[in-house]
């Protein structure tokens, strides 16, 4: 018995055109790819050079920063060490005047007073240069940040106002060096 597939197979063979056999196919040589190894080596060399340059620049920048940090620390140390140099220079004439007053021996009281007044003016001038401000709060409202209450005294003055200054206070650039020692008014107690 013949299978029904065979007639189809014969028809398929009939439809395929027959190609004449040729000789060996000519192979056209493809251009050889450029050798990638030299390009990679050149790129690697260039990258290594650039990395070395960047590392060198980074090390130099780091050294510069370290040097600046050391210089700044030295500047701060010198500033702390010599911060009061100018003020101390301004106080030297005050000391000289006091020593001269003591050396005079038996000067008349008027001359001694004039010398002390002159010395006080020198000291006040030195304070002004250093921005040291005197705080004399007599009659002002009590300020616990600038005044230290030593006593509360019944008075006709408004309560919580300074009525007596025992010792003046001083500020340096609006910062309290010493609070003023004061007596503060309080209302009189009315008899019951």
Distance CA 185, CA 156 (A): 8
1-47 pLDDT, tens digit per residue, is 444 555 555 445 555 555 555 555 566 566 655 565 668 988 999 99
In the chain, domain spans: 132-192
First to last CA, the chain: 146
Q: Find, among 117, 119, 112, the residue nearest to 93 by Cα.
A: 119
- Is residue 101 within 8 A of residue 118, CB to CB? The reply is no
pTM above 0.85, yes or no: no
Helix (H) or strand (E) holding 122: helix 109-129
CATH architecture, domain 132-192: Roll (2.30)
**Bridge partners, 176 (sequence order):** 171
**Bridge partners, 175 (sequence order):** 172
């Amino acid at each position: 018995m013949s299978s029904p597939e065979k007639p189809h197979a014969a028809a398929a063979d009939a439809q395929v055109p027959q190609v004449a056999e040729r000789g060996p196919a000519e192979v056209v040589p493809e251009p050889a790819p450029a050798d990638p190894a030299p390009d990679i080596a050149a790129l690697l060399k260039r990258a290594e050079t650039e990395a070395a340059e960047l590392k060198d620049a980074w090390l130099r920048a780091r050294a510069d920063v370290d040097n600046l940090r050391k210089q700044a620390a030295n500047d701060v140390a010198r500033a702390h060490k010599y911060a009061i140099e100018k003020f101390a220079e301004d106080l030297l004439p005050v000391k000289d005047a006091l020593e001269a007053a003591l050396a005079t021996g038996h000067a008349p009281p008027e001359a001694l007073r004039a010398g002390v007044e002159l010395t006080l003016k020198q000291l006040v001038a030195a304070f002004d240069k250093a921005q040291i401000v005197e705080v004399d709060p007599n009659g002002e409202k009590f300020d616990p940040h600038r005044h230290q209450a030593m006593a509360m005294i019944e008075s006709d003055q408004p309560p919580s106002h300074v009525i007596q200054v025992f010792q003046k206070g001083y500020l340096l650039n609006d910062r309290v060096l010493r609070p003023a020692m004061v007596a503060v008014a309080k209302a009189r107690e009315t008899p019951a």
